[in-house]
Structure formats: C-alpha cells, structure tokens
Structure 1
C-alpha cells in the first residue's frame, strides 16, 4: 500500500468518532472484517491520509469515499466525492455522457460526486420496508438511497479500497456514475 487510509466505522466498542488507520493489506482485511461483522449506523467513511485538505476551520480532506453494505446479500455501494485531481488522469480527460465538462474545466476547489454503477440493478420503485429488497444508503439520517444500479459485490468493494490505497485517487476498477448527492 502506497497510501495509508483512515476508516470511520462502528464496532462493539467504537462509535466511529476517531478514525482507524489502515497501513497494510492485513489492516484492510481486519477492518473490513469488523465492518462486515458489526451493524453500521452510518455508511463507513474512508479518506486517504496523505491527500491535501481543503483548509478552512475544519480542515476537511479534499475527497471522501463512503460505502454501505447489505450483509446477507454480500453487496455494497460506494459514494465518492472529491476535487478534480482526485480523479485519475485518464478519467479527468473524459467528457461525461450527460454533458458535463471535463474535470479540467471544473475549478480546482469544486467538489464533484459519483456513485458506483454496478450490474446488480434493483427496481427503482417505492417498496415496503419488509419486502427484502437490497437497500443501500448514501446517508442513513436523511434516508438517501443509492441509485438502483449502484450495487457491487464485496469483492469489487475490496478491490476498489485496495486501489484507493495504492493510487490515492478514485478507483478505476469499478464503474462510476455522476451523483448530485454530497
């Protein structure tokens, strides 16, 4: 791993107030094991430790990944946001199919957001709470769901996190779609 990651997640003894550092593949496997084993009261948040901060009074990172899990179905979805240079160079040059400009045309401090685009689509209809469909949330408090086609496998989630630790940028091993949720 070229980049250490900070994870915020819940365990039996931790309320996700302080980050857990991941500096090796063994650390990543241990943390993912804990995330999968314990109920998460908010999506798990991940940041690259050595990326720049935005400054200001909170000194927030210039990026963030967060993910939610459906443990019984072994699927997840990832929400990513960041400044243009959080994107790998090849992705920065692409023009979004929806008419958005390239990342180079976006001012440096402007955050953009994406969610995974998986092949595990679920109906986008309103469902009863007990219908046992996959529900993955970008934000639990506001009940903001991931899009119906955002679900990816746990293996894809693991690979995306490994790539994040290797490159320090938004992973390319999963497909992404623009999001208006920050």
Structure 2
C-alpha cells in the first residue's frame, strides 16, 4: 500500500494550513516544484495521511520538515518519529520484488540499493525502534554556494551543513516513506535534539 503524503507549504491562497495530497511520483514532482516556486517563510512539513496520530488533535506520529535551496538543487530533511531500519529494509525489499509497478521500477531499484547499503552499515543503536528526531547526513558537506537551510526559520535553527543533500536523494526518501510509512533508509541520518 502506498501512503498519501500531505504537504503543508505556502502558496497563493494557502498559508500552509491546507495539505496538498501527493499520491504518485508525478504528484511529488508537481508539489516539489510548487514548493520551490513559492517563497517558504517556514520549512515545508510532510506527514502520511493514513499513518497513526495521537491525542484529540490527531497529531501525526511521523513528521518531516524540509528546507530547500533557492536553486532547487539541494535540500535538508528533518524527521521526527519512530525509526526501524530493519523493518523498513524488509518492506522496501518486498515492495521491490512484488508490489512495485512498472512505473516504480526505476526508483525502486535505486531506493533498494541505497537502503541495503545504509542498513548494513548502521550502528546497533541505529537499529532500535525509537521515537526521536533526526536530520539527514552526508559524508561531504554541501558546496559553499548552498545557503544556510533551516529546521525552524522562526527561531533560526539551522540544519548542519552535512545534512544538506542533493534534491534527487530527497525525492527518493519521500518516495520510500510513501511506501513504508517508516523513516526512509535510502538516506543516512544523524540524531538531533530539535523537534
């Protein structure tokens, strides 16, 4: 089953208070383009519509915050919620081997290869399910011409420079989340204290 991703972002007539539903790869491309074409005073938030919530306000148990460079070439991803890399890898493998449609084949193989490599190299503490917060991590820092990206623009909480990833990797992470409903494992993560 693929989950519907709800994107909350600023656009004409929408002050990030009405979600934009993403159900397919083409929806994702169109939505990311809309995010980039409109100034975002706060990071874009993404949730999974069918995933668990808690409390009377039905707060999502899994939440992404995304900030992008003005060129659209780079982004950083913040995730708050449970992490279970081994289960995510198993779900991705089952999807790739049986449930992925023909249209999904290209990116499903990319996701599968990245998930296998990242889960195999994960430290034991990274493999325990836990509710926490993480930001993406790369081994090289982003190019110097990439501006500072923010987890929270209101209080100027910056993403670390090594959290800035190429936009194609962000797309793969969101597509993986759409399939698994779990923290994407096609990207590497580092813990943060910011929710």
Q: TM-score, normalised by structure 2?
A: 0.75
User: Is the partner of 2:76 in helix, strand or coil?
Assistant: strand
Q: Structure 2: any 5+ residue segments left out of the alignment?
A: 90-118
Alpha-carbon contact 2:36-2:72 (below 8 Å) kept:
no
User: Deviating runs (4+, > 6 A) in structure 1?
Assistant: none
Alpha-carbon contact 1:88-1:169 (below 8 Å) kept:
no
Q: Structure 1: any 5+ residue segments left out of the alignment?
A: 124-130
Q: Deviations over 1:82-114 (max 9, x none)?
A: 0356x55266x95237xxxx535x5xxxx3000
Aligned positions of 1:2-151 closer than 5 A: 2-54=2-54, 56-72=55-71, 74-84=73-83, 88-89=86-87, 94-96=123-125, 103-104=128-129, 106=130, 111-121=131-141, 134-151=147-164
Q: TM-score, normalised by structure 1?
A: 0.80
Q: Tell me how large the CA RMSD over aligned residues is.
A: 2.4
Q: Deviations over 1:116-158 (max 9, x none)?
A: 00244159xxxxxxx9652010001010001121000111111
Alpha-carbon contact 2:176-2:184 (below 8 Å) kept:
yes
Tell me the number of residue pairs that the alignment of Structure 1 and Structure 2 aligns: 163
CA spacing shift, 1:133–1:2, aligned 2, 3 Å? closer
